[in-house]
Every structure is written in structure tokens, then in C-alpha cells.
């Protein structure tokens, strides 16, 4: 199975993804409009050329531009809400929910926050 990772150039990503096809996204992304635009251009360069079967994200600001482009190209999107937020919705979750083909949560409490989500249980 061919896969490409888009993540941030950080030591843990470099060690965990050694030997994988990785493209480095721009960070920080938390409310950083400049890096949102840079990541949108990254998505515009990568997604049409690679034509993935599905785009999967577990959050962070880099998800939004890839989900927007994937939806425009009719590529299914799967979002996994973060593990550590059970009492309120995350900003990325709120933004990506309408763009998600499948929206997955790890806690029953999260399922109450996102109508139509699927409970998968903790991944960690």
C-alpha cells in the first residue's frame, strides 16, 4: 500500500517516519494565516498530482487545506478527533467536520459533541 505523510518537520516525526514518503508542512499552524496559506499551496501541489484514494487527518491546522482540496476533487476524507479533548470541540474538528466523509471520535463524550460521528475508541 502506497502512502504519503504530510506532517511537521520535528524530531519525533523524523524518527517515527524514517523510510516513509514524507512531505513537510509549514508550522506553527495555530491561528497562523500565513502558514495556512502555505499549506494550501502545498495541498494544491500534492493532492492533484498524487490523487490519493483517501485523505486522513488526526488534526492540527494542516488538515483544513488538504480537506478543502480533497473535497473539491471528490476524494473521500476521514478525520480522527484528538484523544485529549473530550469536553469541547476543537477548532480543527469544527472546521473539518463539514468537509469529512467520515468523522471518527475516540470517546463517547466526543460523539455527543459531533453529530453523525463514529466512535472508534482510544487509539493510544
| Domains: count for the chain | 1
Single pTM value for the model = 0.89
Domain contains 50: yes
Burial class of residue 112 (count of CB atoms within 10 Å of its CB; 0-12, 13-18, 19+): exposed
User: Residue 101: which domain range?
Assistant: 4-119
Domain contains 124: no
Domain contains 43: yes
Q: Residue 120: its pLDDT value, please? A: 96
Domain contains 22: yes
Q: Residue 30: its pLDDT value, please? A: 77
Q: What is the mean pLDDT of the chain?
A: 92
Domain contains 14: yes
Domain at 81, CATH number: 3.40.50.2000
Distance of CA 6 to the CA centre of its chain: 9
- Give the pairing of strands 102-105 and 118-119: parallel
Domain contains 108: yes
Residue stretches of the chain with pLDDT short of 70: none
Amino acid at each position: 500500500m502506497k502512502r504519503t505523510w504530510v506532517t511537521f518537520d520535528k524530531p519525533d516525526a523524523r524518527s517515527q517516519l524514517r523510510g516513509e514518503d514524507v512531505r513537510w508542512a509549514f508550522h506553527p499552524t495555530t491561528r497562523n494565516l500565513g502558514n495556512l496559506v502555505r499549506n494550501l499551496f502545498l495541498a494544491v501541489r500534492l493532492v492533484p498530482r498524487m490523487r490519493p484514494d483517501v485523505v486522513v487527518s488526526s488534526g492540527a491546522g494542516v488538515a483544513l487545506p488538504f480537506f478543502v482540496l480533497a473535497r473539491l476533487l471528490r476524494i473521500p476524507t476521514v478525520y480522527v478527533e484528538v484523544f485529549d479533548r473530550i469536553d469541547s470541540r476543537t477548532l480543527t474538528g469544527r472546521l473539518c467536520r463539514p468537509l469529512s466523509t467520515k468523522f471518527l471520535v475516540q470517546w463517547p463524550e466526543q460523539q455527543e459533541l459531533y453529530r453523525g460521528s463514529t466512535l472508534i475508541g482510544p487509539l493510544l
